[in-house]
């Protein structure tokens, strides 16, 4: 079995490759990644964990010629599409960059899946497609207007995949809407290591814990939540990775949409407190103005994934904090 993993060097993609190897011990896993938000060190460490049957190509999925060459050289059985720009704030500042990258990459992949009869496609979507709806989010909810261009690119990609699958019965699609992945592989060899200043909460916390940043900024404490700070559905990265494998293994004809989350919300201050207690590290923080467009509470209804994929999140918030710190404290910042 040959599986193409776009963005496979990134945070979610790299952990999914480990889960793929566990379920498909003899599969050829082909990574296509242009290293926009990852490094070759991740691939080096992946090879230590996966050992063999893994290949890396430094290509941009927006380049149709490079995509065509990949499909010509391999008889892919499945594609898992992670590649894409994902910083919400940057998408507001540079919307055209996000529309071009995230839409063209998806269009290129779908085109060559149809040309070369690749009938299994797993798409990395996001809870942002739900817009300003009310939690818990359920897959059957009508999608409201998204609050940023990043979320809109995910919603448009979903519509593209749905339309293509409706006219090509042999093209089977699983759309995974996931929430807030944190943590790291238990080995400490791979984890979340974004280039530059982190956009996500956990790598920001670990940089403060390491002394690379002085203070964590908490955006607002006036929300109608348990302590006034935003509540999110944090999911361990390895649970999320296992969810992608479950989606591929149980892929049915047509379009299948699943939330991947825990179904529980944790506030920013609760996450900070747990990180401090589990790891014995103090995280200085200060409250700053809330960000425009942020919702008070976001969490999933993940019962459909449990029912149809036999999948659910097993790891705790404590596990997430422990594994994230285990990776971060052993990572040398360049």
Residues recognised as catalytic: 150
Whether 267 contacts 200, CB under 8 Å: no
As a whole number of angstroms, the distance between CA 87 and CA 107 comes to 21
Cβ-Cβ contacts under 8 Å for 307 (sequence gap 6 or more): none
As a whole number of angstroms, the distance between CA 259 and CA 75 comes to 30
DSSP state of 194: -
Give the CB-side neighbour count of residue 242, counting CA atoms within 13 A. Answer: 16
As a whole number of angstroms, the distance between CA 205 and CA 218 comes to 10
Rg (CA), the chain: 19
Q: At which residue do the structure tokens 């302590």 appear? A: 227
Q: What share of the chain is helix, strand, coil (3-state, %, to 5)?
A: 40, 20, 40
DSSP string for residues in 234-276: EEEHHHHHHHHHHHHHT--SSEEEEEES-S--EEHHHHHHHHH
Q: Cα torsion for 250, 246, 103, 138, to the nearest 10°?
A: 90
Closest CA to 33 of 11, 2, 1, 50: 11
* Cis peptide, bond prior to residue 136, ω within 30 of zero: yes
Residue 93 in 3-state DSSP? helix
**Torsion-angle region of 254 (φ positive above 0: left; ψ -120 to 50: alpha; else: beta):** left
């Amino acid at each position: 079995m040959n599986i193409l993993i776009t963005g496979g060097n990134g945070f979610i993609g790299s952990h999914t490759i480990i889960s793929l190897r566990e379920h498909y011990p003899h599969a050829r896993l082909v990574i296509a990644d242009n290293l926009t938000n990852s490094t070759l060190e991740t691939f080096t460490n992946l090879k230590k964990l996966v050992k063999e049957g893994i290949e890396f190509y430094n290509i941009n999925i927006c380049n149709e010629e490079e995509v065509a060459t990949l499909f010509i050289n391999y008889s892919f059985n499945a594609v898992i599409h992670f590649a894409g720009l994902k910083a919400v704030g940057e998408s507001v500042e540079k919307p055209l960059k996000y529309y071009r990258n995230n839409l063209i990459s998806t269009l290129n992949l779908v085109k060559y899946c149809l040309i070369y009869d690749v009938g299994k496609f797993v798409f990395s979507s996001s809870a942002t497609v739900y817009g300003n709806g009310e939690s818990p989010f359920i897959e059957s909810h009508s999608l409201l207007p998204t609050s940023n261009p990043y979320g809109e690119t995910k919603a448009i990609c979903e519509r593209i995949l749905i339309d293509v699958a409706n006219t090509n019965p042999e093209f089977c699609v699983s759309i995974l809407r996931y929430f807030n992945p944190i943590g790291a592989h238990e080995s400490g060899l791979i984890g979340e290591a974004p280039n530059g200043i982190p956009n996500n909460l956990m790598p920001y916390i670990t940089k403060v814990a390491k002394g690379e940043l002085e203070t964590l900024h908490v955006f607002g404490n006036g929300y109608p939540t348990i302590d006034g700070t935003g509540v999110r559905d944090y999911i361990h990265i390895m649970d999320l990775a296992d969810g992608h494998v479950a989606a591929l293994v149980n892929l049915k004809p047509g379009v299948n949409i699943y939330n991947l989350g825990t179904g529980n919300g944790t506030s920013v201050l609760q996450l900070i407190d747990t990180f401090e207690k589990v790891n014995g590290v103090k995280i200085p923080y200060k409250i700053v103005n809330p960000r425009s467009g942020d919702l008070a509470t976001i969490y999933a209804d993940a019962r459909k994934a449990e029912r149809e994929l036999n999948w659910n999140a097993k790891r705790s918030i404590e596990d997430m904090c422990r594994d994230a710190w285990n990776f971060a404290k052993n990572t040398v910042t360049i």
